[in-house]
């Protein structure tokens, strides 16, 4: 069997292989050297090795890869040196992708719930039975509650577009992505300042200040590698993080900022830059609006004041502001990525955007860019109109400026629980695991228990699948053909990538494209999906034939050439057509036009703030059960500072209770100076309910169980750092 053979890669060998990843850009891959050496020497098996291009899917980055395939078995995954975005790198998780494919816990066939929800009793169905059942439920719910009574949720994936298209053809506006648990408030802030979400040119930056991002563990390509290269070229890195992350460890300076106070820091930086006239006057005059209002506004925010708020010494704030201005325009406040943290996250990120504007780093080397992008075509879908549908999404109006096409998981769930403004009784999830990644797991369970029907398409029995009524098995990224996907990265490395099946799909797994086509047929919507993946790709490539050629030859299409100066003479897509230091649009909506600082709620006595983050082996909730990665981390721990642990009599490794208003878990303590005394932390992806995840079942605790669900007021992005917990010995 294919699976058994590849499962024999030992941990030592795996580490050796993934350890070689950094070197693999410069040095030819050892496997391929061996192959080249033995190719003509009469060694039989190696002759059968095929090298197949693909794109990694162990996280959203889509790093270019080359699979080594022997007799339809993937032996190893190598980085694709031609992929400029990933700079010829495949991280530890990328290397472990072999075990995503050959995971003994993979779902094998459709399953229908037998016992109570979450009880774990299942009946095997044929695909026909499963699809008939799903179509029947879609039809029934659509008729009884209108089409908007069915919610669709798809995570990051090259096939998620088909779930969205299906939802549109079916007639529901209630489509959400994982993004309202991820980065919407960051996007909101930068879009509302610049009219576009810029990309940081980390590679050429001389001074990076990185607040609330962890680029050496939370890998974003090419930023992670570019930051390393920039630092080798003497760029300075300043990290603000309540935890001593690997990024903090490698930085020139690290400040364990008091959580929730970054806005105070950046308003004070702005105050120094403005009061000392360290900004580029021509740039401010030509490109920005609202400078005088900003000057007045930040007068109150002195470094001395900010020291009290942030725990960062005033003299350092002042010095950093001056250093940033000196390095400008090749200096930046890194925009970050995940911003599902505070109720005022949009305004916090606005303060980053405003300081960047003061640095005049727009469209400049080492600053914020809008790189060139290729836009593949798409199949046009003329969605039918259903007269009885309500006027709007179920979460409409629940945040001040929600992205209509993304919605908000938090607000949608609240609306469903309330049954207002209208009932939603069906839910389809694809490649997303909100039971682990949506704060307040108990509320998600409550929501599921109000539904008539829930179906999940996944590769394993995730906690979300565990709660579903119908579970459909999908092929992993190495087994399926995907559409083309364009990506934007920093200077000279945007591009397009795609996937063909590296090996045939295992078990009875079926791609979601096929699933929605089959459902559409059963619902009389077949006309909307009357095309094949090849047709879809042809449509995508119609106007960009050069992409097809590059992908065939190199596995990826890179856009090269300068990314600077592309905005020269162009108006910004904002109300004032300039960079908005002062937002008239916010003002008109009753939102503070400039970020107004409010101290975070103080932590009650004997409580701690819990924050979310990542390490380099885990992708949110999705990779903790992977056989190779699990060997590197078998459970999670609660990080507690030694002073706090001593006050509670808690020892390193001791099992403790952690409690919030949302829930309670038990977990082992990791007593460490790598977090502030007032802040605790645990990794995501453990404490699973699904006992089909055999490596991690019964291990560690689920952070979503104790995170309270708050939302960023402006965007509706989940706010996951607003929870206070108590910890106690058992």
Q: Is 91 in the site for ligand SF4 (CB under 6 A)?
A: yes
Show the binding pattern over residues 4-43: x = contacts ligand SF4 (CB under 6 A), - = does not. ----------------------------------------
Q: State in angstroms the smallest separation of the CB of 437 from Mo ion.
A: 9
Residue closest to 209 by CA, chosen among 106, 316, 72, 299: 316
Q: Is 184 in the site for Mo ion (CB under 5 A)?
A: no
Q: State in angstroms the smallest separation of the CB of 566 from ligand MGD.
A: 26
Q: State in angstroms the smallest separation of the CB of 183 from Mo ion.
A: 6
CB neighbour list of residue 716: distance below 8 Å, 6 or more residues apart: 180, 184, 395, 398, 399, 402, 407, 408, 410, 411
Q: Is 219 in the site for ligand SF4 (CB under 6 A)?
A: yes
Q: Is 93 in the site for ligand SF4 (CB under 6 A)?
A: yes
Instruction: Give the Cα separation of 129 and 108 in Å (integer).
Output: 15
Residue 237, strand partner residues: 208
Q: Is 98 in the site for ligand MGD (CB under 6 A)?
A: no
Show the binding pattern over residues 130-169: x = contacts Mo ion (CB under 5 A), - = does not. ----------------------------------------
Q: State in angstroms the smallest separation of the CB of 711 from ligand MGD.
A: 13
Residue closest to 635 by CA, chosen among 720, 704, 695, 705: 695
Instruction: Name the helix (H) or strand (E) containing 355.
Output: helix 345-358
Residue 116, strand partner residues: none
Give strand ranges (E) for 168-206: 175-177, 199-200
Q: State in angstroms the smallest separation of the CB of 576 from ligand SF4.
A: 38
Judged by beta carbon, residue 338 or residue 676, the one nearer ligand SF4 is 338
Judged by beta carbon, residue 59 or residue 332, the one nearer ligand SF4 is 59
Looking at residue 580, the DSSP 8-state letter turns out to be: E
Binding ligand MGD (rule: CB under 6 A), the pick from 138, 175, 213, 267 is: 213
CB neighbour list of residue 290: distance below 8 Å, 6 or more residues apart: 576, 580, 581, 582, 583, 593, 594
φ, ψ dihedrals at 211, nearest 5° = -95, 125
Instruction: Kindly indicate which of the ranges 146-154, 181-189, 434-442, 665-673 contains the residues binding Mo ion, using the contact rule CB under 5 A.
Output: 181-189
Separation of CA 25 from chain center:
26
Q: State in angstroms the smallest separation of the CB of 623 from ligand SF4.
A: 8
Which of helix, strand or coil describes residue 368?
strand
Show the binding pattern over residues 665-704: x = contacts ligand MGD (CB under 6 A), - = does not. -------------------x------------------xx
Q: Is 58 in the site for ligand SF4 (CB under 6 A)?
A: yes
Give strand ranges (E) for 459-516: 470-473, 485-487, 494-497
Site for Mo ion in 311-340 (CB under 5 A): 338
Q: Is 63 in the site for ligand SF4 (CB under 6 A)?
A: yes
Show the binding pattern over residues 250-289: x = contacts ligand MGD (CB under 6 A), - = does not. -------x-xx-x---------------------------
Binding ligand SF4 (rule: CB under 6 A), the pick from 94, 142, 259, 407 is: 94
Q: Are 456 and 468 in contact (CB under 8 A)?
A: yes
Q: Is 220 in the site for Mo ion (CB under 5 A)?
A: no
Q: Is 218 in the site for ligand MGD (CB under 6 A)?
A: yes
- Backbone φ/ψ region at 353: left (φ over 0), alpha (ψ -120 to 50), beta: alpha
Q: Is 86 in the site for ligand SF4 (CB under 6 A)?
A: yes
Judged by beta carbon, residue 425 or residue 609, the one nearer ligand MGD is 609
SS (H, E, C) 282-346: HHHHHHEECHHHHHHHHCCCCHHHHHHHHCCCHHHHHHHHHHHHHHCCCEEECCCCCCCCCCCHH
Q: Is 182 in the site for Mo ion (CB under 5 A)?
A: yes
Length reported for the chain = 730
Q: Is 437 in the site for ligand MGD (CB under 6 A)?
A: yes
Looking at residue 196, the DSSP 8-state letter turns out to be: S
Q: State in angstroms the smallest separation of the CB of 582 from ligand MGD.
A: 25
Judged by beta carbon, residue 94 or residue 366, the one nearer ligand SF4 is 94
Instruction: Name the helix (H) or strand (E) containing 237.
Output: strand 236-240
Instruction: Name the helix (H) or strand (E) containing 224.
Output: helix 223-232
Burial 406-427 (b: 16+ CB within 10 A, else e): bbbbbbbbbbbeeeeebbbbbb
Q: State in angstroms the smallest separation of the CB of 409 from Mo ion.
A: 13
Q: Is 61 in the site for ligand SF4 (CB under 6 A)?
A: yes
Instruction: Give the Cα separation of 509 and 479 in Å (integer).
Output: 9
Q: Judged by CB under 6 A, how many residues of this single chain contact ligand MGD? A: 58
Judged by beta carbon, residue 213 or residue 428, the one nearer Mo ion is 213
Judged by beta carbon, residue 176 or residue 182, the one nearer Mo ion is 182
Q: Judged by CB under 6 A, how many residues of this single chain contact ligand SF4? A: 13
Q: Is 502 in the site for ligand MGD (CB under 6 A)?
A: no
Q: Is 333 in the site for ligand MGD (CB under 6 A)?
A: no
User: Judging by DSSP bridges, how do beta strands 331-333 and 608-611 pair with one another?
Assistant: unpaired
- Residue 375 burial (10 A CB sphere; 0-12, 13-18, 19+): exposed
Q: Is 581 in the site for Mo ion (CB under 5 A)?
A: no
Judged by beta carbon, residue 579 or residue 707, the one nearer ligand MGD is 707
- How many C-alpha atoms does 356 have within 13 Å on its Cβ side? 33
Judged by beta carbon, residue 87 or residue 338, the one nearer Mo ion is 338
Looking at residue 424, the DSSP 8-state letter turns out to be: -
Q: Is 616 in the site for ligand MGD (CB under 6 A)?
A: yes
CA angle, 312 then 314 then 316, to 5°: 70
Q: State in angstroms the smallest separation of the CB of 163 from ligand MGD.
A: 10
Q: What are 327's two structure tokens?
A: 């390095």
Site for ligand MGD in 131-170 (CB under 6 A): 155
The binding site for Mo ion (CB under 5 A) comprises 182, 338
The binding site for ligand MGD (CB under 6 A) comprises 59-60, 155, 178, 181-183, 211-214, 217-220, 240-243, 245, 257, 259-260, 262, 336-338, 340-341, 430-434, 436-437, 457-460, 462, 474, 476-477, 611-614, 616, 618-622, 684, 703-704, 721
């Amino acid at each position: 069997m294919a699976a058994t053979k590849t499962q024999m890669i030992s941990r030592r060998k795996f580490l050796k292989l993934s350890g070689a990843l950094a070197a693999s850009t410069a040095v030819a891959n050892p496997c391929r050297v061996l192959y080249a050496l033995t190719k003509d020497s009469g060694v039989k098996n190696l002759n059968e090795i095929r090298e197949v291009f693909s794109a990694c899917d162990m996280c959203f980055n889509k790093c270019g890869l080359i699979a080594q395939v022997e007799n339809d078995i993937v032996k190893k995954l190598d980085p694709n040196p031609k992929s400029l975005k990933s700079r010829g790198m495949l991280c530890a998780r990328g290397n472990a992708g072999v075990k995503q494919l050959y995971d003994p816990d993979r779902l094998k066939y459709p399953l229908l719930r037998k016992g109570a929800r979450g009880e774990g009793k299942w009946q095997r169905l044929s695909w026909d039975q499963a699809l008939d059942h799903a179509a029947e439920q879609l039809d029934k719910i659509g008729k009884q509650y209108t089409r908007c009574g069915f919610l669709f949720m798809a995570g990051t994936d090259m096939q998620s577009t088909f779930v969205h298209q299906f939802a549109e053809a079916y007639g529901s506006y209630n489509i959400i992505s994982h993004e309202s648990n991820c980065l919407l408030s960051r996007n909101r802030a930068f879009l509302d300042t610049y009219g576009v979400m810029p990309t940081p040119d980390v590679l050429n930056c001389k001074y990076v200040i990185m607040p609330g991002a962890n680029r050496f563990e939370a890998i974003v390509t090419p930023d992670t590698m570019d930051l390393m290269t920039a630092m080798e070229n003497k760029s300075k890195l300043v990290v603000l993080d309540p935890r001593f992350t690997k990024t903090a460890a490698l930085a020139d300076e690290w400040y364990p900022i008091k959580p929730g106070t970054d806005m105070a820091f950046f308003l004070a930086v702005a105050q120094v830059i403005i009061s000392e006239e360290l900004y580029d006057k021509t740039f401010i005059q030509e490109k920005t609006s609202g400078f005088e209002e900003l000057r007045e506004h930040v007068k109150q925010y002195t470094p001395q004041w900010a020291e009290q708020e942030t725990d960062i010494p005033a003299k350092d704030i002042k010095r950093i502001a001056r250093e940033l201005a000196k390095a400008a325009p090749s200096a930046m406040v890194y925009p970050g990525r995940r911003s599902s943290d505070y109720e005022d996250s949009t305004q916090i990120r606005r303060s980053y955007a405003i300081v960047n504007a003061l640095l005049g780093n727009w469209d400049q080397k080492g600053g914020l860019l809008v790189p060139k992008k290729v836009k593949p075509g798409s199949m046009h879908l003329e969605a039918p109109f259903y007269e009885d549908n309500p006027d709007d999404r179920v979460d409409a109006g629940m945040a001040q400026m929600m992205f209509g096409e993304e919605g908000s998981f938090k607000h949608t769930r609240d609306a469903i629980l309330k049954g207002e403004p209208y009932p939603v009784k069906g839910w389809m999830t694809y490649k997303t695991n909100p039971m682990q990644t949506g704060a307040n797991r108990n509320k998600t369970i409550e929501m599921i228990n109000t539904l008539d029907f829930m179906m999940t398409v996944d590769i394993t029995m995730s906690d979300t699948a565990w709660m579903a009524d119908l579970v459909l098995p999908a092929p992993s990224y190495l087994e399926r053909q995907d559409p083309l996907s364009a990506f934007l990265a920093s200077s000279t490395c945007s591009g397009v990538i795609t996937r063909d099946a590296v090996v045939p799909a295992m078990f009875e797994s079926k791609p979601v494209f096929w699933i929605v086509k089959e459902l559409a047929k059963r619902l009389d919507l077949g006309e909307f999906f009357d095309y094949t993946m090849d047709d879809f790709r042809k449509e995508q490539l119609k106007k960009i034939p050069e992409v097809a050629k590059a992908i065939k030859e190199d596995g990826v299409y890179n856009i090269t050439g300068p990314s600077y100066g592309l905005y020269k003479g162009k108006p910004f897509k904002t109300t004032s057509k300039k960079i908005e230091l002062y937002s008239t649009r916010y003002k008109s909506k009753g939102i503070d036009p400039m970020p107004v600082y409010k101290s975070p709620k103080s932590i009650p006595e004997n409580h701690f703030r819990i924050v979310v983050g990542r390490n380099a082996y885990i992708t949110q909730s999705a990779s903790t059960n992977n056989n190779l990665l699990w060997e590197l981390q078998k459970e999670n721990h609660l990080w507690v500072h030694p002073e706090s642990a001593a006050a509670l009599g808690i020892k390193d490794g001791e099992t403790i209770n952690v409690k919030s208003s949302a829930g309670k878990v038990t977990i082992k303590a990791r007593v460490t100076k790598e977090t502030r005394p007032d802040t605790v932390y645990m990794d995501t992806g453990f404490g699973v309910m699904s006992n089909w995840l055999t490596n991690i079942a019964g291990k560690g605790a689920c952070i979503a169980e104790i995170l309270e669900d708050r939302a960023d007021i402006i965007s509706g992005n989940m706010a996951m750092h607003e929870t206070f917990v108590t910890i106690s010995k058992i």
